[in-house]
Amino acid sequence: MPVTINGQTYYRTVEVCRTVGISRATLFRWLKQGILSKSERRDRRGWRLFTRDEIDRLNKEVNQISRTGGL
């Protein structure tokens, strides 16, 4: 379930992976490789939080890989 902080909606890792259609391992690998800048936002439990813009960038990456036959 998305979290709203100061009027901004954030999504947790599991929600991002489900929305984009990638595994947690893939998300963390892409973060490490710099495909998406590391998320510095975290909730009170220390879980990463992502914006809708970041999710959209991940979707573009998935679509680009799919078109080139990388998946």
Domain parsing of the chain, residue ranges: 3-68
Residue 65 pLDDT greater than 90, yes or no: no
**Confidence band (pLDDT; 50, 70, 90) for 70?**
low
Chain segment 4-44, per-residue pLDDT in tens = 989 999 999 999 999 999 999 999 898 888 877 666 788 88
Distance (Å) of CA 67 to CA 1, 56, 63, 70: 30, 17, 6, 8
C-beta of residue 27 within 8 angstroms of C-beta of residue 17: yes
Q: Has this prediction a pTM greater than 0.75?
A: yes
Nearest to 31 by CA among 16, 10, 43: 16
**Confidence band (pLDDT; 50, 70, 90) for 50?**
very high
DSSP 48: B
Residue 2 pLDDT greater than 70, yes or no: yes
**Domain 3-68 adopts which CATH fold?**
Multidrug-efflux Transporter Regulator; Chain: A; Domain 2 (1.10.1660)
